[in-house]
Amino acid sequence: RYISTFRPSVKCEVAKNKAQWKTMGPAKVAVPSPKDFLQKHSKEPKLPARKKEQDSKKLPALSVPRRTDHPIMGIQSKKNFINTNAVAAITRLPKKPQPIYVDRRQGDKYLLETSGLVPKYIKKKDYGLIPKYVTRRNEEMKRAQKEYEAGILEHLKKRAMKQLSDEERTSLLQ
């Protein structure tokens, strides 16, 4: 079995210092008196006292009536609401019915617009037009093709055989 070589020295130190820690801490620290106990909310920060200047400021006028105010009674309007509503209903344009579709014999109705059966995309302003990026890409391809063909023609002209005149031919042969 393992036994530490420091065991006797540790035992001696513990026995020597045991008396100091009997008060749950070093003996040198002063123990607080029982009269100075913590009270409720004593650690919370305290707000400064209100100044008299803030109290003297007038409150803004309230748009809400006070509890003591009473409504004015006896005011009546000469407007005939029944007639005006009837006239407005008669002169108003009739509502257009929403387009719907029925999917079964039982008559389950659904809105036609959200169903996907009506092609909404043909009502777009750019419907049927070629997109700008496609036209731009086609132009770039045509330009690149022309440059390539021009480069090939130049290359062929440089490497092409020259036709000699009769005088040069005869001089070379001799």
The answer as to whether 71 is a domain residue is no
pLDDT, average across residues 70-96:
91
pLDDT for 114 beyond 60: yes
State mean pLDDT over 80-86.
95
Please give, one letter per residue, the 3-state secondary structure of the chain. CCCCCCHHHHHHHHHHHCHHHCCCCCCCCCCCCCCCCCCCCCCCCCCCCCCHHHHHCCCCCCCCCCCCCCCCCCCCCCCCHHHHHHHHHHHCCCCCCCCEEECCCCCCEEECCCCCCCCCHHHCCCCCCCCHHHHHHHHHHHHHHHHHHHHHHHHHHHHCCCCCCHHHHHHHHC
Domain assignment present for 145: yes
In the prediction, which pLDDT does 53 show?
66
In percent, how much of the chain has pLDDT > 90? 43
pLDDT computed for residue 49 by the predictor: 85
Question: In this structure, is residue 90 part of a structural domain?
Answer: no
144 inside domain? yes
Q: Is residue 108, in this structure, part of any structural domain at all?
A: no
Q: Is residue 172 part of a domain?
A: no
> What is the total count of domains within the chain?
1
pLDDT tens digit string along 119-149? 888 888 888 899 999 999 999 999 999 999 9
156 is a domain residue:
yes
Q: What is the mean pLDDT of residues 38-46?
A: 90
Q: Which domain holds residue 134?
A: 121-160
